[in-house]
């Protein structure tokens, strides 16, 4: 089995050494041990795990949620994974709804002002004050 140093893992995963150390402190990855030089050593499985973490983060999963996915029993029902993904979808849909409401409110504010005249007469400022 090939042993990889933390710099190799960082390069292969696109993550910084500091991020990898942080993931190690969080228990998301575990080094195999240390080389005689004192460097942490990892294997290809660690690199695969980091790729998994990066993909999960790109989908908006938190590190706690990722840890839960990593800790799932491989023999458990896949419904557990689907449930976590469906929950994430609902969270995103809720956020989109909130952002649409915010967008609507900002459009209403923008429509109040022609963009001409001094700030002291701006109806947006007046509305925000009251």
The answer on pLDDT for 111 being more than 90 is yes
Model pLDDT, residue 37: 82
CATH number for region 1-61: 1.10.1660.10
Residue 49: which pLDDT band, with cuts at 50, 70 and 90? very high
Question: pLDDT averaged over the chain?
Answer: 92
Model pLDDT, residue 1: 54
Residue extents of the structural domains in the chain? 1-61, 72-130
**pTM of the full predicted structure?**
0.78
Q: How far is CA 72 from CA 59, 86, 87, 101, 127, in A?
A: 18, 16, 16, 37, 51
pLDDT cut 90: percent of the chain above it: 75
Q: How far is CA 79 from CA 74, 110, 111, in A?
A: 12, 46, 47
pLDDT tens-digit map of 6-17: 999 999 999 999
Between 12-21, 30-39, 98-107, the lowest mean confidence (pLDDT) is in: 30-39
- Helices 63-71 and 17-26, axial angle in degrees (round to 10): 60
């Amino acid at each position: 089995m090939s042993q990889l140093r933390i710099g190799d893992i960082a390069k292969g995963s696109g993550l910084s050494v500091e991020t990898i150390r942080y993931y190690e402190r969080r228990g998301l990855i575990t080094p195999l041990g240390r080389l005689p030089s004192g460097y942490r050593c990892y294997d290809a499985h660690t690199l695969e795990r980091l790729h998994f973490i990066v993909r999960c983060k790109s989908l908006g999963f938190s590190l706690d949620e990722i840890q839960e996915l990593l800790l799932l029993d491989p023999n458990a029902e896949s419904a557990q994974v689907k449930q976590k993904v469906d929950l994430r979808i609902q969270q995103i849909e809720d956020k989109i709804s909130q952002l649409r409401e915010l967008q609507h409110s900002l459009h209403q504010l923008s429509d109040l002002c022609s963009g001409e005249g001094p700030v002291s007469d701006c109806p947006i400022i007046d509305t925000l004050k009251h």
